[in-house]
């Protein structure tokens, strides 16, 4: 399952990506915003995506806002969430393969639909590498969470 969330600045791109993912038979759940509202805040949408991604291993999330930073910060406040911003294919690939990211942050003001499709497709299809150095680093992040430091 891919959970989607966006504020007003990411709304249009989220809507386009949801249709794209549905067209290639990738199951999505849209956690909002469900209508364009210039007064909304990114916080609640990023939080909802993070909560749902945590429910079951294997879930992924995609969050959208203007810069990608706000939703990224909020999502990363949740234990077991590793949210990464990507602006190119390599960033999306390494977020998954090196860092085991389970949420992708898309900076809607800085990338177009075709780039977003490429980033998201790469993110979804890339597995965690399981190389020792990557598992060691992710384990250190998990320990920080367990010790209440993250």
Is 83 a known active-site residue? no
Alpha helices in 3-128 (DSSP H): 11-23, 42-55, 69-75, 89-97, 113-125
Taking phi over 0 as left and psi of -120 to 50 as alpha, with beta for the rest, 80 belongs to left
Question: Cα(41)–Cα(9) distance, rounded to whole angstroms?
Answer: 10
Contact 103, 61 (CB under 8 A): yes
Catalytic residue among 8, 34, 98, 134: 98
Catalytic residue among 34, 65, 83, 134: 65
Q: Which residues pair with 61 in a beta bridge?
A: 3, 103
Positions annotated as catalytic residues are: 65, 98
């Amino acid at each position: 399952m891919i959970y989607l969330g966006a504020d007003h600045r990411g709304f249009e791109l989220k809507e386009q990506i949801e249709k794209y993912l549905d067209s290639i038979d990738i199951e999505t759940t849209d956690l909002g915003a469900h209508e364009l509202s210039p007064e909304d805040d990114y916080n609640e949408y990023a939080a909802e995506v993070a909560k749902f991604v945590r429910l079951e291993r294997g879930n992924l999330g995609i969050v959208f806002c203007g810069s990608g930073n706000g939703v990224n910060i909020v999502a990363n406040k949740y234990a077991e969430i590793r949210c990464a911003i990507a602006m190119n294919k390599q960033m999306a690939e390494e977020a998954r393969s090196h860092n085991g990211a389970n949420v992708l942050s898309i900076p809607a003001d800085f990338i177009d639909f075709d780039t977003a499709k490429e980033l998201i497709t790469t993110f979804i299809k890339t597995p965690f590498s399981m190389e020792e150095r990557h598992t060691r680093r992710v384990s250190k992040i998990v320990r920080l969470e367990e010790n209440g430091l993250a």
